[in-house]
Amino acid sequence: MSTRADQIRQALSALQPLHLEVTDESHMHSRGLETHYKAVIVSPLFEGRRAIQRHQAAYAAIGPLMQQIHALGLHTYTPAEWDADAQVPDSPACRGGSKHDLG
């Protein structure tokens, strides 16, 4: 049985990544298991695309699987950006829920 992180990796392989990291960060949040992820994607397909276009391509690759994910941090780079020692930011700490949890 594959994990949701494995499913995300498989879906993002459509972007022909030279480097791909998918990290399950659910343990840092209060939403339960397999809900929060961070993806680092290095792809030549990102050449000439703005950040929003790169993210749209990632969301399109993931497709309906996004409905099973609460949060996905995307860090998208071209090979040249990655080779220039791209810095992947740390994920923010959980703030203990969301406005939707108030009731």
Give pLDDT tens digits for 40-90. 999 999 999 999 999 999 999 999 999 988 888 999 999 999 999 878 877
Give the span between the Cα atoms of 92 and 68, in whole angstroms: 21
Beta carbons of 39 and 69 less than 8 angstroms apart: no
pLDDT bin (cut points 50, 70, 90) of residue 103 is very low
Domains and CATH numbers, the chain: 4-84 (3.30.300.90)
Query: What is the pTM for the complete model shown?
Result: 0.82
Tally of CB atoms within 10 A around 26: 20
